[in-house]
Structure 1
Amino acid sequence: MKNSIFTISFLFLSATILVSCSNNSSEEADPNTALYTQVLTNSSVDVITETYKNMNDNAATLVTAVANLTIGDEAELTAVKNAWMATRAPWEKSEGFLYGPVDTEGIDPAIDSWPVNVNDINNILNSGSAITSSLLENNNEARGFHTIEYFVWGLDGNKTAAELTAREIEFLTAATQNLKSKTQQLYNGWVASQGNFANNFITAGQSGNLFYTSQKTALLELVDGIITISDEVANGKIETPLNGNAGSAMPEAEESRFSNNSKLDFANNIRSIQNIYLGDYDGVDHKGLTDVVVLSNPTLDATIKAKIAEAITAIENIPGTFTTAISNNRPAVQNAQVKVGELQLLLDSSLKPLISNL
């Protein structure tokens, strides 16, 4: 009888412990895990990888346009300009996610170093050596988007096809081939059939994932990326040319000034934030950070969307070129800077804490 009572008591206690453990596991499990997986999958595959694919495809068109370029043909030079801008756009739309291979493999400085080193460029032009992609491999200031921009538009942005030289076209050919090799490397780093860095987001929190040990860590990577670019646009890309000369304009610090593409660059930087936040790219609607935020704070979600739109509109409403505006329309530039700064502050002070507390 004593043994029977002990057995019954033991079974009752064991059942109680099992129920208790089961309840604790249920309480600790995040019911939104499936949603987080969708957000991380869509962000890495449908936004990031697709952006890099778009850039790589357009870089191939740029290589072809330069291969067809001849001295004196304005139509061919215009085709090169258009192809450069088409390749530049997805790059600027990618600056909200400068992590993964673009960082670890040194691709960012290889394709987007600014300013260009005109002395290095001239030394290469005057060297007499064959100019090849491999020759440019170790000189970031003499390759990439802005070196190509320099040759195509010229220092004052008004270069004609008649002003091109055979040696410059040789340099352009090498620079565009080198750029294409980097866009291919970047795309390969993310696509599933190659480096598959996207899988680190998809499998965040799973055993063996050395990059993101939890889904929260991966979501915070997305958030930190868009905070970083908003800060860079407001306090670097706009601030330095606007006030870099002791509070006055410093036009030589303006990125993409040869082509007068700066305003579009900045607006596309904010679109990189928009794409990651919404989970959308190229008109295709997917799950994004917005779907996480709206669950607990729909007011914050609406405010973030509004601030993104306000920042883009303020940049696009700067009159004329950015080069002239930093001297002649400073209030409009300052307004754009304020709007981007407001977005950065909101992301840092409200979005990041919300994701950190998931």
Structure 2
Amino acid sequence: MKKSAIFLSSIAVAALSFTSCSDNDESTETVDPNADLYTEVLTDVSLDVITETYNSLYTNAGILETAVSNLTIGDETELSAVKTAWQNTRAPWEESEGFLYGPVDTEGIDPAIDSWPVDVNAINNILNSGNAITSTLLESNNEARGFHTIEYFIWGLDGNKTAADLTTREIEYLTAATQNLKAQTEDLYFGWLATGDNFAFNFTNAGETGSIYTSQKGALQEIVEGLVIIADEVANGKIEEPLNGNNGSAKPEAEESRFSNNSKLDFADNIRSIQNIYLGDFNGNNGNGITNVVDLTNATLDAQIKTAISDAITAIEAIPGTFTDAIENNRTAVQNAQTKVADLLTVLESDLVPFITNL
């Protein structure tokens, strides 16, 4: 299933308003008493969570590229290193799917690295052609590059590929695909850096000149809409389609990371993406998140959201065995996980979004 494009949510009207003129015809600006808190939240989320997640993605993509450069036919240790590097790169990507706005959307990076399903015919045509396989060559087809193309080559269609099954041409393709992936993650990371395109500026300076967000509330709305989008995708796309896509029965071919059996971790990391943004925490950075805004006036809702996030992650991780097997043989556990993610979606959509809208 090829992902739909994620569009920027509508921008809220400016949060600053002005009072009537005084006797001296001087206007007095009314400042939101929580403006400083909003600045801290927007700064910590954009710099310490979003940018740092992309930093991990870029760093790990480089390690994956190096692992592939060391790959030789028949060496299981080297192939195992590539698989581990793929999983380590996949994790921060899945943990970024709660914020698919900015360069990942406007520069077409999401479909370039995470389109599904792979185009096996296109891949075979490239393999069987006489052309050198380069990163540039792969730019023409998103379904023949990115995470799942790399996954397909290193695990195989049935997940049982060995190093002896590799060919010289496949390693050439893998080299190009990992180079392309690293280039995309570099563009993404540098797109948020102050020394790059500095998309983070739009959040840290929301409501100020130069930011695309005309108010801090507009920036906060963008953030919470991103959380809703990924919760909806996990519950009603990533789980639903393989679970019930065959007229209410399992549809294994619709499972996104089925070659590597990485799907459960994908889903849990998607919910961790929500958790990281909500708490303002990532990889040892413990900052301000949306929780700080909510807890200020509604501690009950804050606790409800935190519990819903935790319950969803726990239920996904409790699915026995592989997701491929579970959609056939442990459907109740999969349905429970789907319900918990749907419960999270409900509280985000029905309670958190209105809360932020009414700030």
TM-score (norm 2): 0.93
The superposition leaves residues 102-133 of structure 1 with CA deviations (integer Å, 9 ceiling, x where unpaired) of 00000000000000000000000001211000
Q: CA deviation at 1:282?
A: 0.8
Equivalent residue number for residue 140 of structure 2: 138
Equivalent residue number for residue 111 of structure 1: 113
Give 2:352's aligned amino acid: L
Equivalent residue number for residue 163 of structure 2: 161
Aligned partner (choices 31, 50, 64) of residue 48 of structure 1: 50
Equivalent residue number for residue 176 of structure 1: 178
Equivalent residue number for residue 322 of structure 1: 323
Q: Distance in 1 between matches of 2:121 and 2:22?
A: 78
Give 1:303's aligned amino acid: Q
Q: CA deviation at 1:218?
A: 0.1
Q: Distance in 2 between matches of 1:17 and 1:283?
A: 53
Give 1:213's aligned amino acid: T
Q: Distance in 1 between matches of 2:304 and 2:117?
A: 36
Equivalent residue number for residue 215 of structure 2: 214
Equivalent residue number for residue 292 of structure 2: 291
Q: Distance in 2 between matches of 1:16 and 1:147?
A: 66
Equivalent residue number for residue 226 of structure 1: 227
The superposition leaves residues 302-350 of structure 1 with CA deviations (integer Å, 9 ceiling, x where unpaired) of 0100000000000000000000000000000000000000000100110
Equivalent residue number for residue 89 of structure 1: 91
Q: CA deviation at 1:21?
A: 6.3
Equivalent residue number for residue 278 of structure 1: 279
Give 2:64's aligned amino acid: L
Give 1:270's aligned amino acid: I
Pick closer, same or farther for the CA change 1:16–1:155 going to 2, 3 Å.
closer
Partner SS state of residue 296, structure 1: coil
**Structure 2 residue 246 is matched with structure 1 residue 245:** yes
Q: CA deviation at 1:207?
A: 2.2
Give 2:171's aligned amino acid: I
Q: Distance in 1 between matches of 2:132 and 2:48?
A: 40
**Structure 2 residue 302 is matched with structure 1 residue 301:** yes
Q: Distance in 2 between matches of 1:255 and 1:208?
A: 39
Equivalent residue number for residue 34 of structure 1: 36
Q: Distance in 1 between matches of 2:256 and 2:318?
A: 18
Give 2:190's aligned amino acid: N
Q: Distance in 2 between matches of 1:184 and 1:21?
A: 46
Equivalent residue number for residue 187 of structure 1: 189
Q: Distance in 2 between matches of 1:287 and 1:184?
A: 26
Equivalent residue number for residue 16 of structure 2: none
Equivalent residue number for residue 263 of structure 1: 264
Q: CA deviation at 1:29?
A: 2.1
Q: CA deviation at 1:258?
A: 0.1
Q: CA deviation at 1:140?
A: 0.2
Higher share in helix: 1
Q: Kindly, what percent of the aligned residue pairs are identical? A: 71
Q: CA deviation at 1:40?
A: 0.4
Q: CA deviation at 1:16?
A: 6.9
Equivalent residue number for residue 4 of structure 2: none
Equivalent residue number for residue 5 of structure 1: none
Pick closer, same or farther for the CA change 1:16–1:43 going to 2, 3 Å.
closer
Partner SS state of residue 137, structure 1: helix
Give 1:300's aligned amino acid: L
Give 1:324's aligned amino acid: D
User: Contact 2:143–2:149 at 8 Å: present in 1 too?
Assistant: yes
The superposition leaves residues 275-322 of structure 1 with CA deviations (integer Å, 9 ceiling, x where unpaired) of 000011013210000000001100000010000000000000000000
Equivalent residue number for residue 7 of structure 1: none
Q: Distance in 2 between matches of 1:60 and 1:29?
A: 45
Q: Distance in 2 between matches of 1:104 and 1:322?
A: 32
Q: Distance in 1 between matches of 2:202 and 2:143?
A: 32
Equivalent residue number for residue 12 of structure 1: none
**Structure 2 residue 83 is matched with structure 1 residue 65:** no
Give 1:67's aligned amino acid: S
Give 1:247's aligned amino acid: G
Pick closer, same or farther for the CA change 1:297–1:125 going to 2, 3 Å.
same
Give 1:239's aligned amino acid: E
Q: CA deviation at 1:18?
A: 6.1
Unaligned stretches of 5+ residues in structure 2? 1-20
If you compute each CA radius of gyration, which structure gives the higher value, 1 or 2? 1
Q: CA deviation at 1:138?
A: 1.4
Q: Distance in 2 between matches of 1:75 and 1:64?
A: 14
Q: Distance in 2 between matches of 1:308 and 1:17?
A: 53
Partner SS state of residue 285, structure 2: coil
Equivalent residue number for residue 127 of structure 1: 129
Q: Distance in 2 between matches of 1:144 and 1:285?
A: 31
Give 2:338's aligned amino acid: Q
Q: Distance in 1 between matches of 2:105 and 2:85?
A: 25
Q: Distance in 2 between matches of 1:179 and 1:200?
A: 26
